Amino acid sequence: MISRRAQACRRSGGQRGFTLIEVMIGMLLLASIVVMLAQGYMAALSRAGETGDHTMAAAWAQAMVDYLRNQGYGVSGSWSETPAACAAPKPCLPPEFSRADIVVSNTGIPSLKQIDITLYRMGSGSPFMALSTYAADLRFP
């Protein structure tokens, strides 16, 4: 006994395959999957770049805090750092940032300073990262 499918193939001249609509739907599905994957890839690349900037900013801020500690605890006031105004041995602001505002202020506790650092990205007026820490002048008798 011959199946219905075989009978249908015989009636249509024995040709099998996909119709044009099936091919078009398959291509549409494939294209939409490729677009979604490309968007995910671009978002991941963007996040990786931003993570690198956060890492550079945190490393520079830590270097600046260490530099200020080495300068002694008489340092206080506020100033701005720019990539162009870099002089050794002070840590140089990475070129991805336009400026950093630094505020070193006294606290109510003797030998304790508060250090606030605000970093601004190149081409942006809003702060990229704001860091605050305390530095103590530990002296042992």
Give CA angle at 134 (128, 138), nearest 5°: 150
What does the pLDDT read at residue 6? 58
What does the pLDDT read at residue 62? 92
3-state SS class at 86: coil
Question: Distance (Å, rounded) from C-alpha 97 to C-alpha 128?
Answer: 9
Within 13 Å and on the Cβ side, how many CA atoms surround 32? 6
Residue 88: is its pLDDT beyond 90?
Answer: no
Reported as a pLDDT band with limits 50, 70 and 90, residue 108 is confident
| Highest averaged pLDDT of the listed ranges 12-16, 73-77, 127-131 | 127-131
Rg (the chain; Cα; Å): 32
Residue 28: is its pLDDT beyond 80?
Answer: yes
What does the pLDDT read at residue 3? 64
Residue 15: is its pLDDT beyond 80?
Answer: no
Question: Distance (Å, rounded) from C-alpha 12 to C-alpha 107?
Answer: 91
What does the pLDDT read at residue 130? 93
Reported as a pLDDT band with limits 50, 70 and 90, residue 83 is confident
Q: What is the DSSP letter of 25?
A: H
What does the pLDDT read at residue 139? 60
Residue 1: is its pLDDT beyond 60?
Answer: no
